[in-house]
Amino acid sequence: MSTIATAIRIAAEAHANQLDKDGRPYILHPIAVMMSLPPGDGQVVAVLHDVVEDTSVTMEDLARAGFSESVLASLRLVTHAKEEPYASYVIRCKADPVARAVKMADLRDNTRPERALMRPGILERDASRMARYLLSYKFLSDEISEADYLAAMEEVELE
């Protein structure tokens, strides 16, 4: 079985040359998400949550690295396919306790004031993304129903 140390190494190597939208090393985001969760599978999934989505690392690579099927299953859930509607992806995450916890931690980190972007010229796009994140968090934390979430997400997508 692979460990958190293996997951951190893989994530650090995979994100080595990536910067976030503010120009900071991207690896700081998965590390922050990981550190917000208790030790266990959630931390492993958290530090790897953007590896398959945003780098050349595949699920097969992670399976070969020795991660458990339960970690890989949760990781599949938190990996957003570009062609999949964002709301469908979030609804999928909610069904699995680890994926749900990781996605909520991801959303918390993405909406931190020092990380949230509101850039002149694309302010509407940034505001729409923040609205999607906040609505998704409220849905995952059971503050709004799935029906209300979907309806609100349709409104955000139309803006």
pLDDT one digit per residue (tens) for the chain, 159 residues: 679 999 999 999 999 999 988 889 999 999 999 999 999 999 999 999 999 999 999 999 999 999 999 999 999 999 999 899 999 999 999 999 999 999 999 999 998 877 666 667 777 887 888 899 999 999 999 999 999 999 999 998 765
Distance CA 143, CA 135 (A): 9
Token representation of residue 151: 């309806």
Distance CA 99, CA 92 (A): 9
What pLDDT, in 10s, does the model give residues 34-78? 999 999 999 999 999 999 999 999 999 999 999 999 999 999 999
Start-to-end Cα distance in the chain: 46
Q: Which CATH code fits 4-158?
A: 1.10.3210.10
Q: Residue 17, Cβ neighbours under 10 Å: how many?
A: 9
